[in-house]
């Protein structure tokens, strides 16, 4: 005959469950505190990922989602970092009738976040051109003390609970309770590195949810406009393994708060697009 648990035993078991959940949430708080200890690499706070981007299958002629020529900053909002006293500066500059973004940091850090989000499975390609006037002598992507770059572009993938374990979901719920929103699911971070690196993908010094991909490195091409073209989905798979969440947004940053140095950089012709079929491609 099986004994029926007493009220005290049931209460004790319930208490164990509650303690287990609270312990998991405590782990979540610790993880989230680490996650946000350097928001430059964790992704933006303050509602940067919006629900205003249409999620539809594009028509046959919809190859380009956006082409940002930086005539103004209407499509962007500031990314302010609560643990950094001095903000970087972003402004539109014009030369010979052409506009571009100028980013300057002096022992500072802040960024710009695109106000929209986009479907990376429909528009998986990103291209832009950039130029930096200098790199940082003390910059080192492998260390927190050297985690500064004259220019970087983030692709921040939206939180997707279907791709996380129960404990990870609890951690994200804890973060939402603390900040009012979910942190990004993961971040692929394209950077102009301060020095060459042996690895094509570099773990971030602050969080395991961010992977860094150096597209340029060192001072060899400083002062020159360089065009970049990346496959977001392929880079996510290479960096994290598995399939990425569908929705994402973009951020831009020039930061020097860790090294205490200074730099000026420029960005233009930022495009989110999908490739045309081989027989239907147009010259840019």
pLDDT tens digit sequence for 123-159: 999 999 999 999 999 999 989 999 999 999 999 998 7
Query: Any idea which residue has 């505190």 for tokens?
Result: 33
38 and 257 Cβ atoms separated by less than 8 Å? no
Q: pLDDT tens-digit profile of 184-219?
A: 778 999 999 999 999 999 998 888 889 999 999 999
**pLDDT exceeds cutoff 60 at 39:** no
Percent of the chain with pLDDT over 90: 56
Average pLDDT for residues 62-68, to the nearest whole number?
91
Q: pLDDT tens-digit profile of 214-243?
A: 999 999 999 999 999 999 999 999 999 989
Query: Any idea which residue has 């094509």 for tokens?
Result: 200
For residues 204 and 154, what is the distance between their CA atoms, to the nearest angstrom?
A: 13
**Cβ-Cβ contacts under 8 Å for 77 (sequence gap 6 or more):** 46, 48, 112, 113, 115
What is the model's pLDDT at position 4?
55
187 and 164 Cβ atoms separated by less than 8 Å? no
**Cβ-Cβ contacts under 8 Å for 44 (sequence gap 6 or more):** 79, 111, 113, 156, 251
DSSP state of 130: E
> Is 276 or 118 the better-scoring residue by pLDDT?
118
Region 49-161+183-280: CATH code: 2.60.120
Residue whose C-alpha is closest to residue 139's, from 251, 270, 58, 256 = 256
For residues 92 and 47, what is the distance between their CA atoms, to the nearest angstrom?
A: 24
CB atoms inside a 10 Å sphere around CB 33:
12
Least confident range of 138-142, 169-173, 233-237, 257-261: 169-173
What is the model's pLDDT at position 267?
98
For residues 168 and 170, what is the distance between their CA atoms, to the nearest angstrom?
A: 5
């Amino acid at each position: 005959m099986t004994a029926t648990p007493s009220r005290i035993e049931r209460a004790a078991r319930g208490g164990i469950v509650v303690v287990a959940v609270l312990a998991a949430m405590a782990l979540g708080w610790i993880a989230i505190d680490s996650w946000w200890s350097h928001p430059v690499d964790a992704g933006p706070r303050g509602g940067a990922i919006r629900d205003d981007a249409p999620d539809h299958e594009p028509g046959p002629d919809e190859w380009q989602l956006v082409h940002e020529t930086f005539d103004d900053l209407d499509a962007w909002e500031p990314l302010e970092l609560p643990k950094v006293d001095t903000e970087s500066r972003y402004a539109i500059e014009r030369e010979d009738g052409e506009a571009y973004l100028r980013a300057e940091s002096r022992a500072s850090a802040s960024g710009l976040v695109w106000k929209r989000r986009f479907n990376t499975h429909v528009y998986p390609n990103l291209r832009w051109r950039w130029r930096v006037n200098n790199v940082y002598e003390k910059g080192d992507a492998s260390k927190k003390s050297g985690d500064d770059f004259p220019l970087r572009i983030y692709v921040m993938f939206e939180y997707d609970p279907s791709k996380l374990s129960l404990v990870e979901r609890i951690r994200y719920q804890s973060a939402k309770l603390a900040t009012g929103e979910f942190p990004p699911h993961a971040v692929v971070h394209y950077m102009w590195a301060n020095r060459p690196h042996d690895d094509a993908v570099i773990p971030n010094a602050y969080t395991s949810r961010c992977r860094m991909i150096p597209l340029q490195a060192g001072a060899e091409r400083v002062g020159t406009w360089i065009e970049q073209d990346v496959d977001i989905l392929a880079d996510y798979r290479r960096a994290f393994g598995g399939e990425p969440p569908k929705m994402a947004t973009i951020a831009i940053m020039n930061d020097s708060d860790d090294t205490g140095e200074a730099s000026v950089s420029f960005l233009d012709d930022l495009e989110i697009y999908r490739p045309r079929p081989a027989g239907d491609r147009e010259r840019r």
